A and B are shown apart, each in its own frame.
Chain A
Amino acid sequence: MSVQLKAKMAKGLKMSDEAFITLLVVSAAVFIFLFASLLVPNFFQFQNVVNLVTNNWAVISLGVGVTFLLVSGNFDLSVGGIVALSGVLAVWFAQAPGGANALASGFGMPTWMAMLFALFGALAIGGLNALFVVRFKIPSIIVTLGTMLVARGIAQVITHGSQRNTNLPDNFGFLGNIYLFGTSIKLPVVLMLVLVCVAVVIEKRTIFGRLTFWIGANPVAARLSGIKNARHQTHLYLFSAAIAGMVGILLASEFKSGFSSRGMLMEFDALVIALLGGVAIAGGFGSVVGMFFGALILATVTSAATGLVLSPDWQYILKAIAVFLAIVAQTWALTLKNR
């Protein structure tokens, strides 16, 4: 009923479809949070809201790159693999040479250099994505599944299928463990928030952002009107890989280890929060703000389920139901609005 009301309101205000869906997602997030507060004791607390955001900084960061790519009409399922690869590379480069065994000895680079080179490794995967998708025109879902396996595969070879965490310089753990103003908020969380803000500005206020939408909405028309689709999509893949690389390095720093299974299934979570946030899989439609609140919806649902002492196995079913309802509700609401 409230949807109908909003639909009428939207008609009156001549709201764009995108703003409408974003509003819908934001209200859904608020509604679900309030609903969960009724069911779960001690859920309605400011600290809990903070936790929902801070616990999900990694996936939300990845979601920014994935959202831009989805809007341009491309998948990026490689981000989880890149998280593992860049973390492992950073640790490997920074480990002092001549450790007790193969997994304890690395290249002995200074921390900043190790992290920079690891970022290059992440960018290489992004470049590979762009090469296959943009140049060879192979469907992005296949390509990025392949590069996800390749990235994780390299991480597994470097760590012999487990992890590297010894013989590291002390300052390696610095970046991921800075707490701000004596709160529980770490530096990566702030970086994520900055990233989201910058992304919103790029999306709404720059030519680059608008081009992304045009390419996604109608690639042929975009090309014919002189937009350099290939270059633009290449940039998007590189940005997404850079973000994933950064996330991987920060996680490696936070735990002072390079773990080959880190970021497992994160690519699907990033896709899921984008879908929950109203990003259309066909391209040309979506918003970073929507993705952000999509992440909050998912976080609220899973953490409320844990609060209700449901078995953790429930999270898969809840995720399925959430995405299903989101897709159906969004299609339905848009038809209603534009009737």
Chain B
Amino acid sequence: MSYSISKTRHTPFSARLGQFLRDYYIYLVLILVVVLLSVANLDRFDLFERGNFLNPKNIVNILRVSAPILTLAGAFTLLMVSGHIDLSVGSAMSLAAVVYASLAINGVPFLMAFGLTVVVGVLLGAINGLLVVKLKITPVIATLITLSLYKGVALLMVQDGVSAIKSGGGLKMPGWFNDYGRSGVLLNLPMAFWVAVLVTIALIVVQNKTLLGKHAAAVGGNPTAARLSGVSSNKIVILLYVVVGVSAALAGIARSSFMSLGDPLSGDGMELTAILVVLLGGTAFSGGEGRVLRSFIGALIIMALTVGMLTLVPAYYQTLVVGTVLLIAAASNHLVSRKGSK
């Protein structure tokens, strides 16, 4: 649990600086990344010029592409705070994208397709939760099993010889399909982005103001103590897996709508991105510690970095950069939390 050390007048400056850095480093990193990307490509003295990072169109574009991971980051944080992990989020996202696109292309109206896909998300999350809680399979293995399972189902839902669900063969994607992920509704940003913001706000409230948030941290911090003090960890873990499942479904809808496709591979690697942004946000991998908002900022950093980088270096540098950031984040996380516990 992150508790703040009471700051008295006599606290030495270095300690106060350390505390400040621990609390706010994520914002500093975000500012640093934005500043670096803004000046890296600056060929005119107008920061907001077309082709520069801070160009409003570019920002809008990055935020639109980021909607899936922004949706996922908060739920994934809560799950990791409780000491669990979900490696199946990428596959769940792909499956949701395929389900959503199949419903839409077969004439199901928007809200109904949306609702049904969310229900699928609940189901996928519940399967994970039950495997972990009822059958007592280690989270890594349980969700590795469902990673394979959900991916297989998503691939089977797309007929042979076609790579994704899209217009063609007598069926046509409805006109509204793109709107959710692309059309600006507020500040030129689409619904998908605002849903991500709403989900994040809701989860911040859950984490700070409700028992669920406190119990999640208790289960992750010290499972035995949590059980002995009457926290029903089983229910909480299943609930958290369901929340992650729903977020993955929303992420799948966002991705599917943005690409106008039901691509059964569209979520591949999302589990890695999710782990990366959550670690970047300072969540302890072993559980007990982590903030929803910081993971959201972490997701912004990663997306700004990976998308912004495309104008500077060829795309094939991306894997190396992501891997390096993951290692640095894991290492610095660990060093910071060890210092903090001293």
Q: Decide if A and B are genuine partners.
A: yes
* A40 at the binding interface (Cβ < 8 Å): no
Q: In the assembled complex, which residues on chain B have CB atoms less than 8 Å from the CB atom of A161?
A: 314-316
The contact string, 1 if C-beta is below 8 Å from chain B, for chain A 134-155, is 0011110111011111111110
Q: Select which of B144, B145, B152 is within 8 A of A315 by beta carbon.
A: B152
* A178 at the binding interface (Cβ < 8 Å): no
* B40 at the binding interface (Cβ < 8 Å): no
A147 to B92, CA, bound (A): 25
8 A Cβ contacts from B307-324 to A: 314-324
- B160 and A311 contact, CB distance less than 8 A: yes
Q: In the assembled complex, which residues on chain B have CB atoms less than 8 Å from the CB atom of A132?
A: 327, 330-331
**CB closest chain-A residue, reference B314:** A160
Q: In the assembled complex, which residues on chain B have CB atoms less than 8 Å from the CB atom of A315?
A: 152
- A317 and B156 contact, CB distance less than 8 A: yes
* A207 at the binding interface (Cβ < 8 Å): no
* A271 at the binding interface (Cβ < 8 Å): yes
* A5 at the binding interface (Cβ < 8 Å): no
The contact string, 1 if C-beta is below 8 Å from chain B, for chain A 266-281, is 0010011001000001
**CB closest chain-B residue, reference A78:** B323
Q: In the assembled complex, which residues on chain A have CB atoms less than 8 Å from the CB atom of B222?
A: none
> Which of these binds chain B: A193-201, A250-258, A321-329?
A321-329
The contact string, 1 if C-beta is below 8 Å from chain A, for chain B 135-147, is 1111011001111
Q: In the assembled complex, which residues on chain B have CB atoms less than 8 Å from the CB atom of A148?
A: 323
- A156 and B319 contact, CB distance less than 8 A: yes
A128 to B151, CA, bound (A): 31
- A137 and B275 contact, CB distance less than 8 A: no
- Knowing A149-B272, A316-B152, A317-B148 are in contact, say whether A154-B320 is a contact too (CB < 8 A): yes
Report the tally of A-B residue pairs with Cβ distances under 8 A. Answer: 118
**CB closest chain-B residue, reference A75:** B140
Q: In the assembled complex, which residues on chain B have CB atoms less than 8 Å from the CB atom of A138?
A: 285, 330-331, 334
A314 to B141, CA, bound (A): 20
A121 to B319, CA, bound (A): 18
- A146 and B327 contact, CB distance less than 8 A: yes
**CB closest chain-A residue, reference B319:** A153
**CB closest chain-A residue, reference B153:** A317
**CB closest chain-B residue, reference A156:** B316
A157 to B131, CA, bound (A): 39
- Knowing A160-B316, A271-B144, A323-B148 are in contact, say whether A142-B326 is a contact too (CB < 8 A): yes
- B286 and A157 contact, CB distance less than 8 A: no
**CB closest chain-A residue, reference B268:** A265
- A313 and B156 contact, CB distance less than 8 A: yes
Q: In the assembled complex, which residues on chain A have CB atoms less than 8 Å from the CB atom of B145?
A: 320, 323-324, 327
A139, A146, A313: residue with the most chain B Cβ atoms closer than 10 Å: A146
**CB closest chain-A residue, reference B316:** A161
Q: In the assembled complex, which residues on chain A have CB atoms less than 8 Å from the CB atom of B316?
A: 156-157, 159-161, 260
Q: In the assembled complex, which residues on chain B have CB atoms less than 8 Å from the CB atom of A272?
A: 144
Q: In the assembled complex, which residues on chain B have CB atoms less than 8 Å from the CB atom of A159?
A: 316
**CB closest chain-A residue, reference B328:** A146
Q: In the assembled complex, which residues on chain A have CB atoms less than 8 Å from the CB atom of B321?
A: 153
Q: A146-B330, A149-B320, A282-B138 are in contact. List 13 more A-B contacts (CB 8 A).
A: A132-B330, A143-B330, A149-B272, A149-B326, A153-B322, A153-B324, A157-B316, A157-B320, A161-B315, A317-B149, A318-B152, A324-B145, A327-B145
Can you give 6 A-B contacts (C-beta < 8 A)? A138-B334, A142-B326, A149-B319, A153-B319, A271-B144, A282-B138
- Please provide the 6 A-B residue pairs with the shortest distance between their CB atoms, ordered closest to farther: A153-B320, A149-B323, A316-B152, A161-B316, A317-B152, A153-B319
